Structure 1
Amino acid sequence: MLRAAERCIQRHGIRKTTMDDIAREAGISRPSVYRYFADREDLLLALLDERSRALTERARKFIDQFPTVEEGLVEGLVYIAEHGHRDEFTRYLASMDDSDFGRRVADTDAFATLTAEFWDPFLDAAEKRGELRSSLSRHDIHVWLGSVGLMLMSILDREEIPNPKAMRELVRQFVVPAFVSPDYAPEETKAPRATSKTSKSRR
């Protein structure tokens, strides 16, 4: 049924796709579809969940190679935006061009949940290293990162950013500062601690 829904969305878009369309495409009766999904929005949420989790699995492996919260946020958000933009179904589902579906996503906090699954391992590690602001609400982080990812996909659709380098600079300037602890400094920039030999030479 989800594959049938994808084909219908590809042809008609989210707004015009109906449960009748999906049932016909899947070769089953309309009541059969309702045995699995309460309504059209419930089916679309399942499709959104499936596509997002597939992207998350790939993106996690990519983001793990960046050792700081700054680089991880920049590269992770750009990765999500670029790959989500290239995936036609993610683009359709993330566009929120259907008011009922948009309200359902908001009511179920779906984007925050999916964002949490992707970012939390990275955020947990950054928190342990002392890179993350301690005053931040994790739920608020999920909502904001999810919104930024959608915004970047939308900007790519409108071709408002000339190249990936420009997108990285936007994220670095306007997103990263909200997350990095003001007390954090990378190990290589911290002042070296005085050794016993140095201390004796100063006496």
Structure 2
Amino acid sequence: MARRPKHDPRETEREILDAAERLLRERPFREISVDAVMSQTGLKRPAFYVHFRDRHDLALRVVENAGRTLFEMTDLWLRGEDPAADARRAFEGLVEVYVEHGTVLRALADAAASDEKVERAYNALVQRFIDATVRHIRDEQARGRIGELADVEQTARALIWMDERYLSEALGREPHADPQVVVDVLYNIWMSTLYSADTAVTSHRSAASQPAAGQ
């Protein structure tokens, strides 16, 4: 009798994570059990514990994966040389992630309010973005691109938590806001706060609809 081929551990882990994300799109974290997750896969319950300690550990891994994807987008701005163009590309990338995964990210944010383990992981993720923003602001100040701020760390904290709440509210539920409008709103707030009001722009569609000077 032929032996059943073994699952690739990476594929098994990915299948479980995908199942968790599907459930998080439909119900709050408190209603998600190991059995519920595994019922969405073609795997047996013991396979879950090969990769995760419990459902909390699973949620933390979903947070880590989401954070990795979001940070890849943010890195476009952090490592760029053109503040305006790089920031817009970064916000476009962030919005794309939220359009695809916004309901899951919102579910994790909601879970953080009532689950201590998820809260620690989620807050650590947000803090990573705050720390990176602080470093970038100070680098830009050293280059003379950003002037004096009331408090660099608190400015970064306010901007990042504003992003987190706004993106969750705008794109974490259906019907969601127009993604291009979300990009423009975030871009304007960040550019006006860190650089100058002259850097901020209205949405492409609004700008295109304005009559040319002299008309």
Give the TM-score normalised by structure 1.
0.61
SS in 1 for 2:91: helix
CA RMSD of aligned residues (A): 3.9
- Residue among 115, 119, 123 paired with 2:129: 115
Match of 1:192 in 2: none
Match of 2:170 in 1: 155
Separation (CA, whole Å) in 2 of partners of 1:30 and 1:17? 17
The letter of the residue matching 1:7 is A
> How big is the shift at 1:44?
0.7
Structure 2 stretches of 5 or more lacking a match? 1-12, 200-215
Separation (CA, whole Å) in 1 of partners of 2:92 and 2:147? 20
Paired residue total = 177
Match of 2:49 in 1: 32
Separation (CA, whole Å) in 1 of partners of 2:179 and 2:48? 48
CA 1:128 to 1:3, structure 2 compared with 1: closer, same or farther past 3 Å? farther
Instruction: Provide runs of 4+ in structure 1 moved above 6 Å.
Output: none
CA 1:163 to 1:77, structure 2 compared with 1: closer, same or farther past 3 Å? closer
- Residue among 20, 24, 31 paired with 1:8: 20
- Residue among 88, 91, 107 paired with 1:77: 91
* 1:74–1:172 CA contact under 8 A, matched in 2: yes
CA 1:65 to 1:43, structure 2 compared with 1: closer, same or farther past 3 Å? same
Match of 2:9 in 1: none
> How big is the shift at 1:50?
1.6
> How big is the shift at 1:60?
1.9
Match of 1:91 in 2: 103
Higher-Rg structure is 1
CA 1:176 to 1:31, structure 2 compared with 1: closer, same or farther past 3 Å? closer
> How big is the shift at 1:169?
4.0
Separation (CA, whole Å) in 2 of partners of 1:152 and 1:177? 19
Separation (CA, whole Å) in 2 of partners of 1:32 and 1:162? 40
**Structural mapping, 1:37-52, within 5 Å:** 37=53, 39-52=54-67
Structure 1 stretches of 5 or more lacking a match? 187-203
Match of 1:199 in 2: none
* 2:92–2:183 CA contact under 8 A, matched in 1: yes
Match of 2:160 in 1: 145
Higher relative contact order (CA 8 A, sep 6+): 1
- Residue among 131, 136, 143 paired with 2:151: 136
Deviations 1:30-54 (A, max 9, x none): 8836x843x4233212211122213
CA 1:6 to 1:48, structure 2 compared with 1: closer, same or farther past 3 Å? same
> How big is the shift at 1:159?
5.3
